Structure 1
Amino acid sequence: MNRLFFRFFVLVMLSITAATFAIYFVFARLFGDPLDDIARRQASAQIFLLEQYVDHAPADEWLARLNKVREVSEAHFDLVPLAQARAALPRAAQAALLRGEVVLDPAHKAFFRRVDLGGERYVGSEDDAIHAWNLPIDLGRALAMEVLRYVIVALALLVPIALWSRSHWQALQSLSRVADEFGAGKLAARARMAPSDAVYPLAERMNAMAGRIQDLLDTQRNLLHSVSHELRTPIARLEFALELLSERAADLARDAAPAGDVAASARAAGAAALLKRVAAMEGDLAELNALVNELLSMSKLDSNEALQRAPFALAPLLRECADGLHPQPARLRCVLDPALDMVEADRRLLARALGNLLRNAQKYAAGEVLLAARRIGPDIEIAVEDDGPGIPEEERERVFDPFYRLDRSRDRATGGFGLGLSIARKAVALHGGSLRVERSALGGARFVVNLPGQAA
């Protein structure tokens, strides 16, 4: 707020300064130099004495009255040759002097005027001029007063503007906080504004947008959760049917075994083929069941009750995740900082995220996987690296998208469903952390988890 108002204040002052110069040049162009008017007002008493007292004297008393004025005035009145007066003035002012006008010289606090045009005051007076100096002309003081006047006007404008800006700034800050909360996953966050607030229409549109997004996400989450649950029933029926079919095929194979004739051999071969087909179908069904479990995990991560924080030791959890890899890579290294100590997080979710990262590294590693963790100030950094083919830079964000697989030519047994990295990033994000991928020193991919604010 202070920075915004300061910038606005500077802008207003610069605008007023520019307007002041513009006014000065326009008025000087149309009506003459305003500084001359100020100087003329300040020297008006001396000009009045000359024009109303000295000039109104009879010809034989003109010099006597000029001497009286010299005695009583602090200004000095000298008679100088007209040529000398013209030489002291700029070319534009010399014509006014020749016409008998009072010509001001504010820089020297003086003015010039011809004695007369026809030599009526005294002999040769048409060739003389009056030089009045030490006049009470102070342009600096006048300019300071003008500046102060404009500053007061600026302040009078800025005070109500400041109050108006403050109310708008507070309203915008409130909208910013709501946007931050909504972006952090609090989908129920809404802006609370009075109808009289200037940003009330914006707040209403923002609330409508947030409500629409919340409805869409809730619908998507409910659909995903419902479909995943509904799929469990037909999966269970298929498992039961396949189990019965497998038992029936086994019975046929046993019945055909002792006979030894051609028909029995054919029945045995058919039973064996059926058993093989049933086994393949059971594999597909197990894969479908695993996909449903992954989808349910995704839907649970989107719920507000997904995170259950509790303090626990991080190092044992990391070792458990590494030991849980099957089959184990040829080389699996764990480099753990002794300062890891206790953390406060959801142990189950964090283990799920790290397990997904390790299984991903195991899947693509040529033979080496590295799990490293260290404390950086209050934060904790966990890295999972492999010596596999790595991930191109342009694909490093897309690998976290659900159902996205980098190598689409891989079969499902190797490539998975494309949900593991997405689940890992969501689990880390629920802890307020981040998950990114970069190039590993081993040659493959390096997934880095950052958990902020984990005090030792």
Structure 2
Amino acid sequence: MNRIFFRFFVLVMLSITAATFVIYFAFSRLFGDPLEDIARRQAAAQIFLLEQYIDKAPADQWLTRLNNVRVVSDVRYDLVSLAEASSSMGGSRRSALERGEIVLDPAGRTLFRRVDLLGERYIGSQEEVLRARNLPVDIGQALKREALRYIIVAIALLVPIALWSRSHWQGLQALSRVADEFGSGKLGARARMKPSAAVYPLAERIDHMADRIEVLLEAQKSLLHSVSHELRTPIARLEFALELLDARTRDPELSRRIGAMEGDLRELDSLVNELLDMSKLDSARTLQAAPAPVAQMLHDCTGMLPPASHRLHCLLAEDLGQLEMDRRLLSRAVCNLLRNAQKYAASCVELRARRSATALEIMVDDDGPGIPADERERVFEPFYRLDRSRDRSTGGFGLGLSIARKAIALHGGTVSAHASPLGGARMVITLPLKR
């Protein structure tokens, strides 16, 4: 947010600077150099003496009056050739000098003017130029005055712009905080701005949007939780009825079918449990975190896995240390990733962990078929499964990875899917050491 307003102020300052140069060049083009005009006003007394006292003298007294002015003036007057004077100035000034006009050099504090055009003052006067040096011209002071004018104009523009921007900046900062809180799970976060606020229309729409999202999410959680709880009772009844039926029947074919139905019920019960876990994670706001040794937690996770024919290699660094964690939730997340790897691995699963200066990284690799690059983000969506996993051999409901991501997100970490060096999939958990 600060970057937006910083760029805005830089743009305003650059615009004012550009406008200053445009004004200067425009005035120079239309009305002449402003600095020369300032210098001409500052040298007005010397120009007056030249035009009204020296030039008004009769031809035989012109040099006498010039010498009188030399005696009483601090300005140094001397005569130089027209060629010498012309060589020291540019084309436009040279033309003005040749026409007999007064030419000023503000930087050199010097004035030039031909004695006359026809040689009437004295013999050869048409080829000489009167040069007045050390004029009382102070361009630096004039420039300071002009700069002060532009600074006052710039301040007069920037002060109302700053006040206007400040109100917008504060409003946008408040909206940014609300967005961060809402995104972190605080669904009750609202802007609640006054109607007089600069960004009130935007804040009002964001609050309405947040209200609708909160209502929808709460309804979804309530429905999921209620349905999951309500399903448990008929599932328990069906299990009890099937056990009674299985105990009374002696038909092998019927017993086989009852066993299949019991398997389906167990699968349905597992789905209900995972839905309840999802609901709890969605409603969780804080963790029951405490320091715990990472290596021990990971070894405990490997001990909770069901028996499998795959080899499981634990390649843990020695300096894993401790981490502030909710051990139950984090163990559940790692176990879900390990079970997922067991389902798809051909012969080998690897569990790795390493610690850096800022984060703990846990990796689960398998040598299975892997996950296509365009599916690696979608596998963490609830109920999403790859087409090749929709069979009895792998099972699952597509909730394990979603639960793992939610549990890790509560720890301030991330989980992502990549290609594994073993040829299958690699799941990477990244947990910050300080949340």
TM range (shorter): 0.7 to 0.9
Q: Which amino acid aligns with 2:184?
A: A
The one-letter code matched in structure 1 to 2:343 is K
1:175 aligns with 2:186: no
Q: Distance in 1 between matches of 2:81 and 2:306?
A: 116
Query: Which residue identity is paired with 1:407?
Result: D
**1:30 matched to 2:30:** yes
The one-letter code sitting in structure 2 at the alignment partner of 1:370 is: E
Query: Is structure 2 residue 431 aligned with structure 1 residue 443?
Result: no
The reply to whether residue 389 of structure 1 matches residue 330 of structure 2 is: no
1:84-115 C-alpha deviation (Å, 9 max, x unpaired): 66666655445644654323344543333344
Question: Are 2:28 and 2:34, in contact at CA under 8 Å, matched by a contact in 1?
Answer: yes
Conserved? CA contact 2:310–2:345, under 8 Å = no
Q: Is the 8 A contact 2:185 2:285 kept in 1?
A: no
Question: Structure 1 residues 334 and 67, CA, compared in 2 at 3 Å: closer, same or farther?
Answer: same
Query: Does structure 1 residue 135 correspond to structure 2 residue 115?
Result: no
CA spacing shift, 1:188–1:164, aligned 2, 3 Å: same
Corresponding residue number in structure 1 for 2:307: 327
Aligned AA (1:402): P
One-letter amino acid matched to 1:197: A
Alignment of 1:400 with 2:380, yes or no, is yes
Counterparts in 2 of 1:185-204, with a 5 A limit? 185-204=185-204
C-alpha distance after superposition, 1:261-320 (max 9, x if no partner): xxxxxxxxxx33222222222221221121111111111110135733234443333222
Distance 2:290 2:91 in 1: 91
Counterparts in 2 of 1:305 and 1:82: CA distance versus 1, 3 Å: closer
Percent identity over paired residues: 68
Report if the CA contact (8 A) 1:294-1:419 is conserved.
yes
The whole-number CA distance in structure 1 between the counterparts of 2:10 and 2:358 is 41
Q: 1:322 to 1:71 in 2, by over 3 A?
A: same
Against the structure 1 CA distance between its residues 315 and 99, is the aligned structure 2 distance closer, same or farther, given a 3 Å change threshold? closer
| Separation (CA, whole Å) in 2 of partners of 1:281 and 1:323 | 30
Structure 2: give runs of 5+ residues left out of the alignment.
none
Kept after mapping to 2: 8 A contact 1:387/1:444? yes
Q: Residue in 1 aligned with 2:259?
A: 279
Structure-2 change in CA distance of 1:25 and 1:305 (3 Å): closer
Q: Separation in 1 of the partners of 2:333 and 2:282?
A: 15
Deviation at 1:344, TM superposition (A): 2.8
Larger radius of gyration: 1
2:77 aligned counterpart, secondary structure: strand
Contact 1:405 1:415 in 2 (8 A): no
Look up the SS of the partner of 2:387 in the other structure. Answer: coil
Amino acid at match of 1:369: V
Residue 73 (structure 2) aligns with: 73
Question: How has the CA–CA distance of structure 1 residues 180 and 342 changed in structure 2, closer, same or farther, with 3 Å as cutoff?
Answer: same
Q: Which amino acid aligns with 1:111?
A: L
Q: Secondary structure at the match of 1:302?
A: helix
d(CA) in 1 for partners of 2:65, 2:278: 108
Q: In structure 2, do the counterparts of structure 1 residues 367 and 79 end up closer, same or farther at CA, with 3 Å as the change threshold?
A: closer
Deviation at 1:411, TM superposition (A): 1.1
* 1:299-348 Cα distance to aligned partner (Å, 9 max, x none): 11101357332344433332222122222344222233443344332222
Change in Cα spacing, 1:144 to 1:3, as seen in structure 2 (3 Å) is farther
Partner of 2:408: 428
The answer as to 2:247 corresponding to 1:247 is: yes
1:209-288 map, 5 Å: 209-248=209-248, 250=249, 253=250, 271-288=251-268
The residue correspondences of 1:407-426 to structure 2 (distance < 5 A) are 407-408=387-388, 410-426=390-406
Q: Deviations over 1:165-211 (max 9, x none)?
A: 34433332232222122212222222243333212222222222222
Q: Kindly indicate whether the alpha-carbon contact (under 8 Å) linking 1:12 and 1:154 is maintained by their aligned counterparts in 2.
A: no
Residues in 1 aligned to 2:279 and 2:155: alpha-carbon distance in whole angstroms: 58
The aligned amino acid for 2:357 is G
Structure 2 partner of 1:310: 290
Contact preservation (8 Å) 1:5, 1:162: no
| Corresponding position of 2:153 | 153
Q: 1:152 to 1:9 in 2, by over 3 A?
A: farther
**TM-score normalised to structure 1 length:** 0.84
Structure 2-normalised TM-score?
Answer: 0.88
What is the DSSP-based 3-state SS (H/G/I as helix, E as strand, rest coil) of the residue aligned with 2:421? coil
**Counterpart amino acid of residue 103 in structure 2:** V
SS of structure 2 residue aligned to 1:130:
strand
The range that moved more, 369-378 or 353-362, is: 369-378
Note the C-alpha offset of 1:374.
3.0
Higher mean Cα deviation, 346-355 or 407-416? 407-416
**Structure 1 residues 28, 402: CA separation in 2 closer, same or farther (over 3 Å shift)?**
same
Contact 2:112 2:129 in 1 (8 A): yes
Query: Relative to structure 1, is the Cα distance of residues 277 and 337 closer, same or farther in structure 2, using a 3 angstrom cutoff?
Result: same
Shift of 1:432: 1.1
Q: Which residue of 2 aligns with 1:359?
A: 339
